[in-house]
């Protein structure tokens, strides 16, 4: 065929036979070199400064962790500051309270000292009053004598009975008995089969003393089994009970011993228990 023979007549075409646009060795604005086919034969020039790289996920997490730690520390510091302020206020309040309490304690101590002084003074005054009352009771009782052993009958006249006994003990003052014996009565409640003691209050002290002195060796009383005794206070009885062993020992030795009130005497000297020996 003509067509085939026409193609066969054509030989291989050269690159220059094609109509390609002219290509320069360098592209515009670039230093890349191209070969005759337009392909790049060199790499682009590396910039002097590397572009900023993106932050990794790990870097972002560490930064956030640091921020969280700082925030937590700040919050903690704020809480501690508030706590310190609150504690400081509480301490100031406690300080004020302690100052008030100390002032109150000082006042109480002052009052205690004053009260102690007053109590000491009043205790001393009370002791003096007690001694005066005891002494007054002793003095009053010195005007009295107790009579033991007098038979007791119903509806008896105790005062008349006492005056008759006193006349028998000291007949020399018989005329004074009616005015000397002021009060006479039995002591305590009646007891079956036992005669109660009689307390006698004398209006004349000297008559009482004569009766008491005469009664110590009175045959009249011994024959009738009667006995006069002093009207002692509780304190005098306790003192005599303590001193009695010393008095008894002295009497057994033939020494003159006797009581006056709450005191005991041996040969005219007062007995002091701390200085005596009962062995």
Q: Is the pTM of this model over 0.75?
A: no
Helix (H) or strand (E) holding 230: strand 227-230
State the pLDDT at residue 46: 52
Q: Could you count the other beta carbons within 10 Å of the beta carbon of residue 208?
A: 21
- Report yes or no: 148 and 229 within 8 Å, Cβ to Cβ: yes
State the pLDDT at residue 2: 42
* Residue 13, pLDDT above cutoff 90: no
The per-residue pLDDT for range 151-170, each reduced to its tens digit, is 999 899 999 999 999 999 99
The per-residue pLDDT for range 83-117, each reduced to its tens digit, is 899 999 999 999 999 999 999 999 999 999 999 99
3-state secondary structure of 149: coil
State the pLDDT at residue 258: 85
Q: Integer distance in angstroms from the first to the last C-alpha of the chain?
A: 185
What is the C-alpha to C-alpha distance for residues 133 and 76, in angstroms, rounded to an integer? 80
Backbone angles phi, psi at 155, to 5 degrees: 60, 35
Question: Which of 44-58, 154-168, 242-256 is predicted least confidently?
Answer: 44-58
What is the C-alpha to C-alpha distance for residues 247 and 127, in angstroms, rounded to an integer? 29
> Residue 51: which pLDDT band, with cuts at 50, 70 and 90?
low
Q: What is the DSSP letter of 34?
A: B
> Residue 45: which pLDDT band, with cuts at 50, 70 and 90?
low
State the pLDDT at residue 171: 93
Report, as an integer, the average pLDDT of 13-32: 45
Segments making up each domain of the chain, as ranges: 58-139, 142-231, 232-279
Q: Could you count the other beta carbons within 10 Å of the beta carbon of residue 180?
A: 21
State the pLDDT at residue 5: 43
User: b/e per residue, 37-62, with b = 16+ CB within 10 A?
Assistant: eeeeeeeeeeeeeeeeeeeeeeeeee
Query: Which CATH superfamily is 142-231 part of?
Result: L1 transposable element, RRM domain (3.30.70.1820)
């Amino acid at each position: 065929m003509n067509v085939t023979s026409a193609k066969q007549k054509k030989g291989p075409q050269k690159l220059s036979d094609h109509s390609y646009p002219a290509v320069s060795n360098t592209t515009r604005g670039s230093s890349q070199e191209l070969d005759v086919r337009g392909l790049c034969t060199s790499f682009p020039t590396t910039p002097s400064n590397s572009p900023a790289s993106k932050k990794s996920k790990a870097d972002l997490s560490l930064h956030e962790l640091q921020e969280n730690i700082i925030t937590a520390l700040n919050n903690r510091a704020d809480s501690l500051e508030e706590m310190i302020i609150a504690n400081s206020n509480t301490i100031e309040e406690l300080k004020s309270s302690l100052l008030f309490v100390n002032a109150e304690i000082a006042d109480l101590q002052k009052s205690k000292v004053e009260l102690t002084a007053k109590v000491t003074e009043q205790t001393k005054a009370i002791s003096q009053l007690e001694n005066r009352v005891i002494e007054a009771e002793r003095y009053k009782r010195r005007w009295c004598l107790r009579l033991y052993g007098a038979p007791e009958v119903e509806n008896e006249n105790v005062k008349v009975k006492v005056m008759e006994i006193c006349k028998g003990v000291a007949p020399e003052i018989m005329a004074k008995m009616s005015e000397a014996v002021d009060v006479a009565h039995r002591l305590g409640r009646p007891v079956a089969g036992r005669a109660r003691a009689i307390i006698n209050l004398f209006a004349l002290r000297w008559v009482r003393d004569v009766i008491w002195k005469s009664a110590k060796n009175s045959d009249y009383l011994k024959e009738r089994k009667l006995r006069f005794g002093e009207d002692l206070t509780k304190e005098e009885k306790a003192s005599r009970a303590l001193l009695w062993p010393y008095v008894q020992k002295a009497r057994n030795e033939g020494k003159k011993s006797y009581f006056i009130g709450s005191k005991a005497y041996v040969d005219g000297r007062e007995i002091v228990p701390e200085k005596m020996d009962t062995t």
